[in-house]
A and B are shown apart, each in its own frame.
Chain A
Amino acid sequence: MGWAIALHGGAGDIPRSLPLERREPRKAALRHCLQIGVDALNSHRSPLDVVELVVRELENNPHFNAGVGSVLTSNGTVEMEACIMDGNTKRCGAVSGLSTVKNAISLARLVMEKTPHIYLGFDGAEAFAREQGIETVDSSHFITPENIERLKQAKEANRVQIDYTQPIKKVGDKIPVPDGDSQIGTVGCVAVDGLGNLATATSTGGLVNKMVGRIGDTPIIGAGTYANNLCAVSATGRGEAIIRGTVARDVAALMEYKGLSLNDAATYVVEGAPSGTTGLIAVSAKGEVTMPFNTTGMFRACASEDGYTEVGIWPGELRE
C-alpha cells in the first residue's frame, strides 16, 4: 500500500470533437498538476498540503473553471468558491463569493485553521482574506476572453446550465456551443499517503451565467467535497444535482454502512445520479483510486505509488 492521488478539471458535455488546440493544453495541464502532486507525495508532504498545492496550480491555470478561467455570473463578474477537508480529523474549511482572492482553496484552508468556523462567504470572506494577508488581485485577473464569450452565448441562448429536476424552468435543450466545453465545472484533488491519511480539495467559478450569489455543491461538505478516515472525494458536474444527491458523503457512507469497496461505492453513486450531471474522483485509505463519471467526459488524471498513471478526458481512454 502506498500513496495515491487523483485530480479533475471538470465533468461535463465535452464532445469528442473537441479540437486539438483545446484538448492538448488541458491534458498538458493535468499531467503537469499530477506531477506536482506526485512529487509532493514522494517528498512526504501531507495529503492536506498536497491537495491544496495541486488545486492552487489548477486555479492558476486559465483552462479550467476555477481561479483564473472561472466562468462568469450573469453580471459578468466572478464569484469563486472552494472547500478543503482533512480525512482523519474531519476538519474542513469552505469559502464562497470570492472575487479578488488569488487562490480560493488557500483561503478555505485558512478558514479551517485560523477561525472557529467552517464556512465564510462573500464580503465576510473577502474581509477575512485581507486580515490574513492572503494574496488578492483585481478581479479582472480571473476573467478570460473565452469566458466572456461563454457568457455572451449563454445569454443569447437565454439559458443557464440547470438541474432538470427544477420543474419551473424550461428544460434546457443543450444548444451546442462552438467550443463544446461550456459545461466545464470545478477542479479538485484527492490524495492519500502511505499511512492512510486522506484529504480532498475542490475549487470552482460555478455555473456560466449563474445568478449573483448562487452557491453550488463545491463548498457544501458532503455534496461536492468530503473526506473521512475511509476515503476522500471531490465531485464535479451540475451543482444542484450534486447537492440533492449528497454525492461526496454518499460514497463514504456506502463504504461505511454498506461495506462497499471504494470503486463500487463511487460507481453506485455516479450511476444513481441523473445522467450527464455527475463525476467524481476518490481515493481510499488503502491507496485505491477511482474516477467515475456519467457525463460525456471528465478532465482527469491519477497516479499511485505502484507506478500506475492515467490522464484522460473521455471514458475508456488508454492509460498513458
Chain B
Amino acid sequence: MGGWAIAVHGGAGVDPNLPQDRQEEAKQLLTRCLNLGISALRSSLPAIDVVELIVRELESDPLFNSGRGSALTENGTVEMEASIMDGPDRRCGAVSGITTVKNPISLARLVMEKSPHSYLAFSGAQEFAKQQGVEMADNNYFITEDNVGMLKLAKEANSIMFDYRIPICGSEPCSAVVESPIQMNGLPISVYAPETVGCVVVDSQGRCAAATSTGGLMNKMTGRIGDSPLIGAGTYACDLCGVSCTGEGEAIIRGTLARDVAALMEYKGLNLQEAVDYVIKKRLDHGKAGLIAVSSNGEVAYGFNSVGMFRGFATEDGSMEVGIWE
C-alpha cells in the first residue's frame, strides 16, 4: 500500500433524467480535475496544496454548485461557503456568507494560515478577503442563467410541494415535479441542483487533506449555513484520512459524517472502505448524502445513498475512474 491518491466530487443527488450531454460535460470536468491533481501529485505538491488547486478549478467552472454556478438564495443572490483541513496537525479554515470572493476555498485557506481563527463569515470574512487582497468579483459573476431558472422552479415547487403526489397532467410548472418524484432537501431532484464540490488527497508522504466548497441549498434562507464549512460535518482530515461530503446538509451535520469516518477508523479499527460504508448506511437516518475519502495508506473510497453522485478518483498505481451512477 502507499502512494498518492485523489478523489473529487461534484455533488450527491443527481436527476436520473439528466440529459446525456450534461452527464458528459460533468464527467469531462471531473476528468480534467483528476488530471490536474495527478500532475500536481507527480510534482510532489503537498496534499493541502492539491486539494485547494482542484477545488479552485471546480469553483471556477460554472457547471457544479460552487463559486461560479453556485445555487441561489431565496433573494436570488449567491452566498458561498467552504472549508479546508490539513491532516497532519488538523489545521483548518472555513468561510461562510461569501459574496464577492472568486475562490472561497482559497479564502478558507487564508483563514487557516493568516488569521488567528478557524472560521470567518459574512462581512467579517469579506473584510478579511479585502485585507488579504484576494481576487474579487461582483456577485453577478457567480450567477448563471441556469440557476436563475432553477430558483424560479424551486420557488414554484415549494409552493406546490404538498400537491406533488396528485397527478396534474399537462400542467407545465408541475411536469418536472411529477416526472421526478425523487426529492432531496424538500425539492424535486430536477430542481435540487447537485450541491457542493470537494476534493480529498493523500500525497506520497502519506499526508491527507480535504476541501469542500458550495453555494449551498437552492432557495435557501439568506444566512443559512450548511455542512460544507463545518469541520467534522462536511470536511475532515487527520493523520488517518481525508473526507469531503455532499448531499443534504442538515443530515450531514446531524451525522457528523466526515469526522465519523475517521472516528470509526481510529476508535473501532475499521479500514477506510468499511468506515465509509458504515457511515453511509448508519449515520444518515433518512438523509441522502455521499462522500469521498482517502487514507494515509494511499487508499481511496466513496459511498452514497442518494441517486447518483458525480465523482472520480485516481491512485498512483494507475487506476482512474469517473462516474455518476451506482
Query: What separation, in Å, do the CA atoms of A223 and B233 have in the docked complex?
Result: 10
Residues of chain B in range 271-311 having any CB-CB distance to chain A below 8 Å: 285
Interface-side segment among A164-172, A185-193, A280-288: A164-172
Q: Given the complex, which residues of B lie within 8 Å of A125, measured CB to CB?
A: 223
Q: Given the complex, which residues of A lie within 8 Å of B121, measured CB to CB?
A: 96-97, 121-122, 213, 215
Asked, given contacts A117-B220, A222-B232, whether A122 binds B116 with beta carbons under 8 Å apart, the answer is: no
Interface assignment of A116: CB less than 8 Å from any CB of chain B: yes
* Most A-side CB within 10 Å, residue of B114, B121, B256: B256
* Most A-side CB within 10 Å, residue of B94, B123, B186, B231: B231
Instruction: Name the one of B96, B117, B250, B260 contacting A121, with C-beta atoms under 8 angstroms.
Output: B96
Interface assignment of B80: CB less than 8 Å from any CB of chain A: no
* Beta-carbon contact of B254 and A122 below 8 Å: no
* Beta-carbon contact of B223 and A244 below 8 Å: no
Asked, given contacts A165-B89, A220-B230, A250-B263, whether A118 binds B250 with beta carbons under 8 Å apart, the answer is: yes
Query: What separation, in Å, do the CA atoms of A213 and B259 have in the docked complex?
Result: 24
Asked, given contacts A124-B223, A127-B223, A168-B114, whether A213 binds B128 with beta carbons under 8 Å apart, the answer is: yes
* Distance of B306 from chain A, by nearest CB (Å): 17
* Beta-carbon contact of B250 and A120 below 8 Å: no
* Distance of B301 from chain A, by nearest CB (Å): 18
Q: Given the complex, which residues of B lie within 8 Å of A115, measured CB to CB?
A: 221
* Distance of B147 from chain A, by nearest CB (Å): 19
Asked, given contacts A221-B233, A250-B263, whether A123 binds B223 with beta carbons under 8 Å apart, the answer is: yes
* Beta-carbon contact of B253 and A258 below 8 Å: no
Q: Given the complex, which residues of A lie within 8 Å of B114, measured CB to CB?
A: 168
* Distance of A210 from chain B, by nearest CB (Å): 7
Query: What separation, in Å, do the CA atoms of A211 and B114 have in the docked complex?
Result: 12
Asked, given contacts A213-B125, A243-B92, whether A162 binds B116 with beta carbons under 8 Å apart, the answer is: yes
State which size class the interface on B falls in: 35 or more
A interface footprint on B147-169 (CB within 8 Å = 1, 0 otherwise): 00000000000000000000000
Interface assignment of A212: CB less than 8 Å from any CB of chain B: yes
* Beta-carbon contact of A239 and B122 below 8 Å: no
Instruction: Name the one of B94, B116, B186 contacting A169, with C-beta atoms under 8 angstroms.
Output: B116
Interface assignment of B175: CB less than 8 Å from any CB of chain A: no
A170 nearest CB neighbor, chain B only: B116
B interface footprint on A105-127 (CB within 8 Å = 1, 0 otherwise): 00000000001111111111101
* Beta-carbon contact of A254 and B267 below 8 Å: yes
* Beta-carbon contact of B122 and A253 below 8 Å: no
B interface footprint on A246-274 (CB within 8 Å = 1, 0 otherwise): 10011001100110000000000000000
Interface assignment of B264: CB less than 8 Å from any CB of chain A: yes
B interface footprint on A200-234 (CB within 8 Å = 1, 0 otherwise): 00000000001111111000111100100000000
Q: Given the complex, which residues of B lie within 8 Å of A212, measured CB to CB?
A: 123-124, 127
A74 nearest CB neighbor, chain B only: B124
Q: Given the complex, which residues of A lie within 8 Å of B236, measured CB to CB?
A: 246
Query: B residues bordering A, Cβ < 8 Å?
Result: 89-92, 94, 96-97, 113-128, 185-186, 217, 220-226, 230-233, 236, 249-250, 253-256, 259-260, 263-264, 267-268, 285
